[in-house]
Amino acid sequence: MNAQLTQQLAWLSPQASVLKNMRRGLEKESLRMTPTGHLTQSRHPDGLGAALTHPYITTDYSEALIELITPATKSIDETLTFLEDLHSYTYQHLGDERLWLNSMPCMIGLEDESIPLAYYGESNIGKLKTLYRHGLGIRYGRKMQTIAGIHYNLSFPPEFWQAWQSASQTSGELQDFINEQYFGLIRNFQRHSYLLLYLLGASPAVCACFLLGRDHNLASLGTGTLYQPYATSLRMSRLGYQNTVQRDLQVSYNHLPDYISDLSHAIHTPYPPFAELGVKKDGVYQQMNTNVLQIENEYYGLIRPKQTIQRGEKPTQALKSRGIEYIEMRCVDLNPFTPTGIDSPTAHFLEVFALHSLLSDSPHFEADEYAELAIRQEQMVEQGRKPDLHIDINASATDFKASALRLMAEMQQVALVLDSAHDTTRYSASIAAQIAKIEHPEQTYAAQVLVEMEKHQNNFFAFGHSIAEQHRDYFLSRPLSAERQAFFNQEAQTSHAAQKAIEDSDTLSFDDFLAAYIA
């Protein structure tokens, strides 16, 4: 075990209760599909509320890409139950539609225009959100924006940070200490993210329609299906939620001010290929600006530092004003074998992984390490289950299995602390389950997806459609409590009223609003 982790566990273990009030929340994306399995062209169901203002049910890139958001809770069980309830309520308003429970889409049409942009009403902020998505479409293509995943949000409680700062005898403002430690977590998360891609990746195959007209190195499997035999998460590969523009964009993860500065610089730096697309075409807005990034969220990272945003505030402004509140882990594929896309063992494991990243020594990134991170990610997503796989770590080819088991041995000790803090054994059990996947690659989600596809003539669509039907039946047969039903009904009504109030309060033209927002 690394020396710093040993030291940190030594002071933390006797007072593990300071972790009791950890808070977590989930954001889960799914495409709405027709009964035949095609991407729906219908509007976001009115009964679910207004996507602009509903705190728990909204849309992401496409009008068809629904996003379910749980509140921050002090219990994994509470979070997962709320997510299940959101699904049950959502299915009450989907009619004959289904939610596609694979990260990679299928049957989305050959033309970009077949993917409807999310619509947020006629307010200036609503139009801005749709314009941003239109800009993403002309920059990178709309198909890439239909990929879905799980974002796991996690924060550590004030009493934990206070105890740690006191134990480390670090002077200065507590929030400055928190910011520095969260960035240590973020660096280690990226260093070790190859392990998450192996263990939680569930997208070894794609629908051929997704890559129509694109160069790729995938092999044909069944009718209309492409794959790589040892892939873990094609969602996180260069074929998935990545783009060539941002591969050359280096954002510092060493200090919060540097991170904010680098993102702000990208938002204000012109990019000639985007300039050729223009801000307006025939008097119609095409994108927010012609810079490297339109806004901060356009930067696709495996993990983000986050602060709750106040109305009219940008993410970097919130971070600069109030520091890091929580981290958002973004590299988790939808697990098609559980109705909500994520299960309890995965949630427990992610929290162990995050705390291990936080407590371990985390040197600042050097320039060459950023490049190595990208190389290692590509090795893992394309070849992660290959026997005797070696990956690039510290400029040398390293045995993946040996490296993974070393990390797991350390995480076993971290899991014991979390078990003690939450009076459970499920954190330790989650580590045991992940170790089994390392010892037996056939137990990984990606391997199981390929096995299940064999039952459907190796057809990705047939497999995904069958899974969607099973989960639809599950949620339609799962009644909500009267209290939860009334709660969601009220939230839907409140969101519609809130959107109308925003629309009624607009005084600026959209041109002036956009100029002010960018300025």
How far apart (Å, rounded) are the C-alpha atoms in residues 415 and 488?
35
How far apart (Å, rounded) are the C-alpha atoms in residues 369 and 364?
10
How far apart (Å, rounded) are the C-alpha atoms in residues 245 and 410?
36
At residue 143's C-alpha, the angle toward residues 137 and 148, to 5°, is 110
Could you list the pLDDT tens digit for every one of the 519 residues in the chain? 788 999 999 999 999 999 999 999 999 999 999 999 899 999 999 999 999 999 999 999 999 999 999 999 999 999 999 999 999 999 999 999 999 999 999 888 778 889 999 999 999 999 999 999 999 999 999 998 999 999 999 999 999 999 999 999 999 999 999 999 999 999 999 999 999 999 999 999 999 989 988 889 999 998 899 999 999 999 999 888 666 677 778 899 999 999 999 999 999 999 999 999 999 999 999 999 999 999 999 998 999 999 999 987 899 999 999 999 999 999 999 999 999 999 999 999 999 999 999 999 999 999 899 999 999 999 999 999 999 999 999 999 999 999 999 999 999 999 999 999 999 999 999 999 999 999 999 999 999 999 999 999 999 999 999 999 999 999 999 999 999 999 999 999 999 999 999 999 999 999 999 999 988
CATH number at 224 reads 3.30.590.20
DSSP letter for 338, please. Answer: S
- The count of structural domains within the chain is 1
How far apart (Å, rounded) are the C-alpha atoms in residues 157 and 463?
42
The domain containing residue 466 runs over which residues?
Answer: 3-518
Q: How much is the CA Rg of the chain, to the nearest whole Å?
A: 22
How far apart (Å, rounded) are the C-alpha atoms in residues 101 and 335?
7
Q: What is the pTM of this model?
A: 0.97
Q: Which residues make Cβ contacts (< 8 Å) with residue 20, sequence separation at least 6?
A: 74, 157, 421, 422
